Each structure stands twice: as structure tokens, then as C-alpha cells.
Structure 1
Amino acid sequence: MNRVKSTDIIIHAQASELFDYLARPANHVSVDGSNTVRQVLIGPDRLYPGAKFRMKMYMVVPYTITNTVVTFAENSEIAWRHSGRHVWRYQLQDLGGGDTRVTESFEWGKAPLRYLYELFGVPSRNLTSMVRTLAKLKQHFEAQG
């Protein structure tokens, strides 16, 4: 079974600008569509392959999560996972004319709790949050123009 939810949006911005923004954990708070990301606690200003960063989160109760970058292809793809082993991924496709298709994915196929995620509707809720995240990202970049 393919355990991936993804959504995409076209944003009028260069892939390099979008990638740089997404590679900076401090920016995640402002575009988080789930309203669970609160702040960076530990980590680099800009991510790189294998980088670790800890975020302060809130979902019913406050908690922290440490993420590890598992994919890093400058200006085209970045992904990270935490101990739950699900992956958050952004893929960027330069469409020309200053437009970029941004695809955000949530992959839970290797997560030990994958069946519980499905039982409690986590993938569907995450898809809704990703749609909101990409809308916020689009607004951030296109409002500047």
C-alpha cells in the first residue's frame, strides 16, 4: 500500500528562493498550516544533508520533536523525518517564467505507528494542513511582488 499524501501548488517565485526559505527552520512557524509548529529550539540557521533540528510543537499538549534531514537536493527537494519515522518532503519544479510547482508530501509507510495514524485519520488531517501550508507559502511570496 502506498502510504503517501501529497498536494501541490504553483507559486510565482524562483525555485531557489522557495528552497532557501524552506531550508530555514525558523520560517516553518509562519507557513505551518497545522498550527502545531511553535519555534526552533536547536538547529542550524539553514539546513543541509543530515542536519538535525529540534522544534517546539503544540498539539493538545506542548512537546518537542527532533528532525533529521534525509533528502537535500539544492533548489529541488528537501525532506526530514523524526523518531516516528514518517517523512515530510518538499519538491520544487521550475516551470519557467518565474513559476515553481511546490509539492508537499507526508509519507508514513515506514512509521511503526502507521496503522494507528490511519485509524485516527492522521494522513487526511495532514493533507488538509499541507494545503493550508502551501497557500500560506504562496501568499508569503506573491504578496511581496
Structure 2
Amino acid sequence: MAEYKVSRSAVVDAPAARIFEILASPARHPEIDGSGTVRGSLFGPPELVQDARFGMDMKMFGLPYRMTNRVVEYEKDRLIAWRHFGPHRWRYELEELPGGGTRVTETFDYSRGFPLFYVLGGMPARNARGIEATLVRLKELAERG
């Protein structure tokens, strides 16, 4: 059975707390977004916590839209995940490495709901490219401090 997840990892030369601070700030999401869809933060707390709601200004395939998200998984400095009205999730896991740095794993989990829609629409490959670009941007921001 297919897993219906797209996941990529990168090692960032920064502590998990610094990386998490970026991820937990909706205002910073346009800076790290590698998919080109996140345009701006509309509302929400300055720092995300469990069950926090936040709104984003988005654009995909040339069409602008707005999205409200809710944090559904949260462990400070280790894990954060959110979802919108659909059941799929964007998830970031942070693992500090013994030799220094932090492994960041971003996962787009589309296993809930109607995963075949995403497969037929070519979304797994598109999401993989977006995740790879996001991790590069996140790495650059976190390593600059």
C-alpha cells in the first residue's frame, strides 16, 4: 500500500531552537517557502503553538486565494505540523545531531482524505520540488542567524 507522503531532509548548521523559531513564525513563512505559493501572513499569533490558527495569502497556478491553518502537532524546538480545511498536513521534525547541527525533515502528508487526487494531479513531484527549495531557504536563514 502506498504511503502518500513526500518527505525530504537537510542538515542545518544551527541549533534546533533557532530553526524552530523561524518555522513557528507565520510572518516568516513567505521567506522560507520554496513552492512559490505563500505570499504573506494575514493573521495569527507571532509564534505558533498547539491549536493556533493562522491565515496565509496564497497563489497557485496564477490564482490568488487565502488559507486558514491550524497547528495539529507541536513539540517546542522539535516538531510542528499544521493543516487547513483539508486533511493533509505540512510537518517539520527537528533532530539535533551529536556532532552539531540539526537534521530538518519536512513532510507533506496527503494520506488522509483523497490521496489519489494528488497523485493524478502530479502533486507529489511538485511538492517534492517545493520541499527541497524550502529546505535550502530555511538552511540559509537559520545559518545566517
Q: Secondary structure at the match of 2:97?
A: strand
Q: How does 1:1-145 map to 2 (within 5 A)?
A: 1-59=2-60, 60-112=62-114, 114-142=115-143, 144=144
Give the gaps of 5 or more residues in structure 1: none
Structure-2 separation of matches of 1:73 and 1:139: 23
Q: Please, what TM-score do these two structures have when normalized by structure 2?
A: 0.95
- Structure 1 residue identity aligned to 2:34: G
- Structure 2 residue identity aligned to 1:121: G
Q: Secondary structure at the match of 1:96?
A: coil
Query: What's the CA shift for 1:85?
Result: 1.1
Query: What's the CA shift for 1:141?
Result: 2.2
Identical residues among aligned pairs (%): 43
String of CA shifts for 1:64-89, please: whole Å, max 9, x gaps: 01101000001100000011211000
Structure-1 separation of matches of 2:54 and 2:65: 14
Instruction: Using the TM superposition, name which of 39-48 and 93-102 deviates more.
Output: 93-102
Query: What's the CA shift for 1:21?
Result: 1.1
Structure-1 separation of matches of 2:17 and 2:118: 33
Structure-1 separation of matches of 2:67 and 2:8: 24
Structure-1 separation of matches of 2:126 and 2:27: 23
Query: What's the CA shift for 1:123?
Result: 1.3
Q: Please, what TM-score do these two structures have when normalized by structure 1?
A: 0.95
Q: Secondary structure at the match of 1:62?
A: strand
- Structure 2 residue identity aligned to 1:103: T
Query: What's the CA shift for 1:57?
Result: 0.1
Contact 2:92 2:104 in 1 (8 A): yes
Structure-1 separation of matches of 2:109 and 2:15: 26
- Structure 2 residue identity aligned to 1:12: D
